[in-house]
Amino acid sequence: MKREERRYHGIFDTSQAGIFTLDVPSMQIVDINQQCARLLNYEIGGLIGQDISLIWPDEVERSRILSNVSGQYTLSDAEVHLRNRQGRALWVLISAAPVHDRKLVCSLIDITARKQIEEALLESEIKFRSLVEKSLAGVYIVQDDLYTYVNPRFAEVHGYAVTEIVGKMGPKDLGSPEDWPAVQEIVRQRMDGETESIHYESRNRTKSGDLIYVEILGSRTLIQGKPGIMGTLLDITERKQATDALRRANEKLNLLDSVTRHDLLNQLTAFQGFTGLAEESSADPGVTAYLGRARAVATKMQALLKFTRDYQNMGMREPQWQSVREVFLQAAPPLETPEIALSVDVGELAIYADPLLEKVFANLMDNAFRHGEHVSKIHLYYEEHPDAIVVIFEDNGAGVSAIEKELIFRRGYGKNTGYGLFLCREILALTGMSILETGEPGKGARCEITVPRVNCRLHAKRGETSRDEVVGS
């Protein structure tokens, strides 16, 4: 008996669980081990002889739990609230077994940290679910080619109830048969890890059979150890319809503009021909002078009409990534003066710009040839800055006077049509770029095109391109 008692006290004293002995009739603590005292932040002597309510104040919970322990019945791993010496609530797992003399041996395991994590997760889940359930965007999870979750908005967009989709339908069931092969390949690439995320537009079919346009985003995830795709869906049908209507209206306006411009140019050509004949047949110097002025006005009108053609095309096509080097070479005209050398030092720099970017470089070169007076070299290169790449077009001609540096970009200013550099600024502004003249008068013109970093790609080291290479392109 003494041996068993010593064995019991050995276990009692060295156990990693908190253990105390409770006298049932008096509800007093009659023994407690060091681990239990440490858990409750008491000295051992501070708890022996104390009523159990000191550490277990919830009488309803206490009575419910302890009333189930008597005779041969034991309690195992019940979650209860205790209170430590400072009054802070603790979550513990309590197990209890009856022993002789109407006493209970109770063991405690602190699960406060686990419960706090569970409560935080539950709160987070409630917030997330509330956000998702009330979202104006459709939210979905796909696993094994089936939707395992969709929010009410996703179902509403397609005309179904949530219960009609989850576990019963997949992307193929909702997708347009014509679009499905392309969509299937996009999903496969994401599931195989070939892309970080998916973002595409396609057509889906509603319960009533109507086609809708949707924009879909998604990323690969693991749920319960199984791969899947979680993402959002937006109904963009109205946006697509508005865009198509606007495109059709623009096409009609552009057709009207083109026909009108063509007819006007034909009439101006005829006008110039007749005024030329009139000049040749007129013997009156005064009349000849007026006719010459009329022809000059007609020439100006022709240039303005051609400018409207270029301006009309701005923004008509989507911006695209373009090689600065290639676009510059395409824009370079055959040089009438062999002494002018072109050099390109932009490596494989690409910028996101309107397809009319070539017109920008063509106008800059045309200005250098027309107004540079003694230009013998044109150099294109770039400088890197923290937030931007600055593409620099530089020549060694006469330069631009200080008072004209901003004026040259205004509509109608200049010695020729007055629209070339204005058009350059407008084309660049479509994708957030700007242009400034920063050269030193008498030492050459220098135009700086500032390109936001997000619109730049640097692929390789810069390398010189000679004038011969330009001319041969």
The domain segmentation of the chain, as residue ranges, is 2-112, 135-235, 240-313, 320-472
Are residues 341 and 378 in contact, defined by beta-carbon separation less than 8 angstroms? yes
CA distance 132 to 426: 42
pLDDT of residue 173: 93
pLDDT of residue 473: 30
* Residue 451 scores a pLDDT above 90: yes
**Short-list 397, 320, 390, CA closest to 365:** 397
Are residues 291 and 282 in contact, defined by beta-carbon separation less than 8 angstroms? yes
Q: Is 263 exposed, middle or buried (0-12, 13-18, 19+ CB in 10 A)?
A: exposed
Domain 2-112 shares a fold with domain 135-235: yes
Rg (alpha carbons) of the chain, rounded to whole number:
41
CA distance 110 to 82: 10
Could you say which architecture CATH assigns to the domain 2-112? 2-Layer Sandwich (3.30)
C-alpha dist (Å) from residue 248 to 133, 237, 238, 255, 279: 38, 16, 15, 11, 46
Taking only the tens place, the pLDDT of each residue in 329-340 is 888 866 445 567
- Cα 229 from chain centroid? 18
Could you tell me where the beta strands, DSSP code E, fall in 33-137? 75-83, 89-99, 103-110
163: its two tokens: 């219960």
Right CATH for 320-472 from 3.30.565.10, 3.40.50.1820, 1.10.10.10, 3.90.76.10: 3.30.565.10
What are the φ and ψ backbone dihedral angles of 80, each rounded to 5 degrees?
Answer: -135, 165
Are residues 437 and 445 in contact, defined by beta-carbon separation less than 8 angstroms? yes
275: its two tokens: 């005024």
Taking only the tens place, the pLDDT of each residue in 75-112 is 788 888 899 999 898 999 988 888 877 888 888 989 88
- Cα 40 from chain centroid? 51
274: its two tokens: 């007749």
Which has the minimum average pLDDT: 44-53, 75-84, 410-419? 410-419
Are residues 398 and 374 in contact, defined by beta-carbon separation less than 8 angstroms? yes
pLDDT-derived band of residue 10, with 50, 70 and 90 as boundaries? low
If you write DSSP's letter for every residue of 227-267 in order, what string do you get? EEEEEEEEE-HHHHHHHHHHHHHHHHHHHHHHHHHHHHHHH
Cβ-proximal residues to 328 (8 Å cutoff; 6+ apart), any chain: 344, 346, 361, 380
pLDDT-derived band of residue 13, with 50, 70 and 90 as boundaries? low
Domain range 135-235, CATH class:
alpha beta
pLDDT of residue 416: 58
Q: Considering only residues 460 and 247, tell me which one the structure prediction assigns the higher pLDDT.
A: 247
Are residues 55 and 47 in contact, defined by beta-carbon separation less than 8 angstroms? yes
Taking only the tens place, the pLDDT of each residue in 178-229 is 998 888 888 888 777 777 778 889 999 999 999 999 999 988 888 888 888 8
Taking only the tens place, the pLDDT of each residue in 118-155 is 888 877 777 777 777 878 889 999 998 899 999 999 99
406: its two tokens: 């901003």
**Short-list 148, 293, 274, CA closest to 221:** 148
Cβ-proximal residues to 439 (8 Å cutoff; 6+ apart), any chain: 394, 399, 400, 445, 446, 447
Give the mean pLDDT of the chain. Answer: 82
Q: How many CB atoms lie within 10 A of CB 192?
A: 10
Which has the minimum average pLDDT: 114-128, 278-292, 303-317? 303-317
Q: How many CB atoms lie within 10 A of CB 212?
A: 19
C-alpha dist (Å) from residue 30 to 22, 102, 105, 406: 6, 12, 10, 94
470: its two tokens: 């330009």
